[in-house]
Amino acid sequence: MAEAAGAAVPAHLHGGLPDEIVVWEILVRLPPKSLLRCRAVCPAWRRATSTRDFLLAHHARQPSLPLLCGYDIEFAGVSLDVISLDHRAGLGAVDQLQPVARLGNSFFRLRASCDGLLLLSSLYRNLGFSICNPATRQYARLPQLDGFAVLGIYPHSPTGEYRLLLAKSDASYVFTLGSDQPPKRIWCPDSENTVCELSSVLFHGSLHWHEQSGSNMVKVFNTTTELFRRMGAPSVPGKANLFEMDGMLGMSSFNDAATTIDIWTTQDYESEVWAIKYRVELPVAQLTVKFGKFDGKWNVVPSRDVDVLMLVNFGNWLLQIDMNGKLVASFHRVLHCTDQLRLKQSLVPHSFFPTLEGYVVNDSPFI
């Protein structure tokens, strides 16, 4: 890929380095904001970093980071701060919180994410659902989704389209971004158990989510065939969050006393064999005294350095806790965990955006 794309790259992008090194080893590794600044250096740099092959390679290099949400009450209303947590080695606690986007003019709530796209819902001004790419600052409304619950967003590999899996109490539906057709009804067993508040996780080409509190089943939606199935899972007392960890599907849940997080992973995904990997005892009493009351929200963040980190909300604090129950870092800010949503930023253009209602670039509701 690099050789084919490199043939079209103008010579002498940098006086001291070969073009292949500049483009495919340096520029391709930059964060989106830094790359956009580099495009202003000269037309040659802009052309070299605007090809689709380059943008796909650049997206592949971006880290997949957990998302957090914060709200600021202003004179004009409530704004949503979308923040990623960069927990990689070498970053201090202050530098780990990376602003992604701020959206105003409504009370937005983050619902789903995929390939740099964020799906939002709004509680005010009848804006309903909308979609945005914070890296390119594109935004548009999705009025076709009014009345539906959103279970996930996914790339449909046979067509290259991005689609949304939706649900009502009577059935499930699929909607293609950019389509002028209403959501298409599809068959789903036990539709009444499909609508849930938990975010789905895209793993092995399928969306997964835990059915309901106390269930030992995970519902699976194959994004290629667009068919449902179920897989067995550990029986847990309450709700469970799903996530990907070291190429395996993971699941975490609290015990009844909300003092212990159990973390399970699939030892054999096809055979539906799970094993408990960690049991994290939280010093809830000590943390409550120091930081405030635990609000029941948590995320499990796989980490190369310490295997896993837990993100938990206590009072007005977001806490990082390692697998031994030790406090690693604390952030004095009201930031809400997002049920394992992650962001892998992308500058890849999407043809559906200009076709959507209320399409804007670098304009309201971005602040």
The neighbour count for residue 41, using CB atoms within 10 Å, is 12
Q: How far is CA 203 from the centre of its chain?
A: 13
Residue 329: name the closest of 310, 305, 316, 342 by CA: 310
CA distances (Å), origin 35, targets 95, 117, 201, 204: 19, 18, 29, 30
User: Counting Cβ atoms within 10 Å, is residue 86 exposed (0-12), middle (13-18) or buried (19+)?
Assistant: middle
User: Counting Cβ atoms within 10 Å, is residue 271 exposed (0-12), middle (13-18) or buried (19+)?
Assistant: exposed
- Sheet strand arrangement including 149-156: 149-156, 161-167, 172-176, 184-186
Residue whose structure tokens are 């992973």:
265
Contact call for residues 331 and 111 (beta carbons, < 8 A): no
C-alpha radius of gyration, the chain, whole number: 21
Q: Please give the single-letter amino acid code of residue 22.
A: V
Query: Which tokens in the block code for residue 322?
Result: 């390692």
Between CA 153 and CA 110 the distance in angstroms is 12
The pLDDT profile of the chain, 367 residues, written as one tens digit per residue, is 444 444 444 456 666 788 889 999 999 999 999 999 999 888 989 999 999 999 999 999 999 999 999 988 765 678 999 999 998 766 777 789 999 999 987 789 999 999 999 999 987 655 689 999 999 999 999 999 998 999 999 999 999 999 999 998 778 999 999 999 999 999 776 655 555 656 799 999 999 998 876 678 999 999 999 999 999 999 888 788 899 998 999 999 988 888 899 999 999 999 999 999 999 999 999 999 999 998 878 889 887 655 788 999 999 999 999 989 999 999 998 888 887 899 999 999 999 999 999 999 999 999 9
Give me the helices (H) in the chain, please.
Answer: 2-6, 19-21, 32-38, 43-48, 52-61, 93-96, 284-291
The neighbour count for residue 162, using CB atoms within 10 Å, is 19
Residue 278: name the closest of 323, 216, 325, 326 by CA: 323
